[in-house]
Amino acid sequence: MRDEALTPEARPTMMATPRAGTGDAPVVVAARRTPIGTAGHAFKTVTADRLAAPVIAAVAADVAHLGVPVGDVVLGNCTGPGGNLARVSALAAGLGHEVPGVTVDRQCGSGLAAILLAGQAVRSGEMDLVVAGGAESASTAPLRAHRRPEGEIPVPYERAPFTPEGHPDPDMGPAAEALAAARGVSRERQDAYARRSHARALAAREAGRFAREIVGVGGRDADQRPRALRAASLARLPAAFVPQGTVTAGNSSPISDGAAAVAVVPERLRAAAGLPGLRLLAGAVVGCDPGLPGWGPVPAVRRVLSRAGAGIADVAAVEIVEAFAAQVLAVTDALGLDPLGADDERVCADGGALALGHPWGASGAVVVARLFSRLVTGGAPPGTLGLATAAVGGGLGVAALFEVV
């Protein structure tokens, strides 16, 4: 069910000149990530700060020649142990006692929200260099329990509520089923998209496109999960969340461990150093129906495009956190994108979370690192636009529009 009014009538265009009034705009000038491991496997004993520290250190080293001290570390995280993970990770990365750190929780959008907050600090002139991103270690996340009367055994719970009593608060699997039903996304398309994600991730790894962004952890320097999928095998998988449903383990992302970080500086510093980068043109965090949280990227993307005076046809590269194939397809249908057809090279061209994994607090930063590799490291011309977006439990959407400079 596509919103025809938003369907692009032309292939992506390149903006020939930088936009006016962006002299102090925030620019991403370095981006790194860890390999992503399935929870309980590759990084099963590696805590979130030990995942985050190597990428923070690598990003800081990438921009050390600027001679600008890191002003802050902003790190997204959902299920960690608390204690201001960003501060712990900054110290573990060797940035020094003077670098503070702040931890952000917008659930699956945390990593991207952290980058937007870093951009705001840079745009305001308060800081000249902020390292931002996210980290998640589902493998080592502490178990939580409801407090009980004295003498009674505490009762564990799976997750914190995303909404208060009286509002819908579905788990993400059933929410993906509801969105697929509401937007008419078939099981066949979901399975086809999952196969595409894995195939493209395998091809990107074979071509070395991930190697240039990955910082090894514990001797591992490659993502654990991508594999060849057969249509017949996917078709045999049962519904994972709702009887007779369409969302399965095969077209859903796995619970994962990983981290990603970027360096954000003002445009004046980037230009003086002659560095290529991704200038942040617009960012948005919006709310939507908490019963259909996967819909959040649609209003978020529409808002950032409107603020930037751009259309979806102007965007050359789109990275969306692939929590579920159903959710990706519902969003891309509404935005006028066809990742299984005409927009195969635009949307998650090297695969996404379905193949790589979904470390919740980090995934929003992972998609920015992917944009950086695709557009900046890949040599896209100045003016090329890239879009990053994520859906968030509880009914939120996060999006950011970037321009190659």
The yes-or-no verdict on residue 225 having pLDDT over 70 is yes
The pLDDT-based confidence of 158 (bands split at 50, 70, 90) is: confident
- The pLDDT of residue 153: 87
Would the pTM of this model clear 0.85, i.e. be above it? yes
For all residues of the chain together, what is the average pLDDT? 93
The answer to whether residue 154 sits within a structural domain is no
- The pLDDT of residue 154: 85
The answer to whether residue 236 sits within a structural domain is no
The answer to whether residue 267 sits within a structural domain is yes
Which residues have a catalytic role annotated? 108, 358
CB 285 within 8 A of CB 216: no
Residue 207 tokens read as: 């071509």
Q: CATH number, domain at 396? A: 3.40.47.10
Mean pLDDT of 170-188: 97
- The pLDDT of residue 146: 81
Residue 276 — left, alpha, or beta (φ > 0 → left; ψ -120 to 50 → alpha)? beta
The answer to whether residue 326 sits within a structural domain is yes
The answer to whether residue 207 sits within a structural domain is no
The 3 state secondary structure assigned to 137-198 is ECCCCCCCEECCCCCCCCEECCCCCCCCCCCCCCCHHHHHHHHHHHHCCCHHHHHHHHHHHH
How long is the chain? 405
Quick one: which H or E segment has residue 283? strand 278-287
The answer to whether residue 157 sits within a structural domain is no
The answer to whether residue 221 sits within a structural domain is no
User: pLDDT tens digit string along 36-94?
Assistant: 999 999 999 999 999 999 999 999 999 999 999 999 999 999 999 999 999 999 999 99
User: pLDDT tens digit string along 82-91?
Assistant: 999 999 999 9
The pLDDT-based confidence of 23 (bands split at 50, 70, 90) is: low
What is the span of the domain harbouring residue 73?
A: 4-13+25-141+251-404
The answer to whether residue 133 sits within a structural domain is yes
Tally of domains within the chain: 1
User: pLDDT tens digit string along 228-242?
Assistant: 999 999 999 999 999
The pLDDT-based confidence of 147 (bands split at 50, 70, 90) is: confident
Tally of CB atoms within 10 A around 218: 15
The yes-or-no verdict on residue 3 having pLDDT over 50 is no
The pLDDT-based confidence of 13 (bands split at 50, 70, 90) is: very low
Nearest Cα to 126, choosing from 269, 266, 268, 281? 266
Cα dist. 348→106, 173, 266, 272 in Å?
22, 21, 27, 32
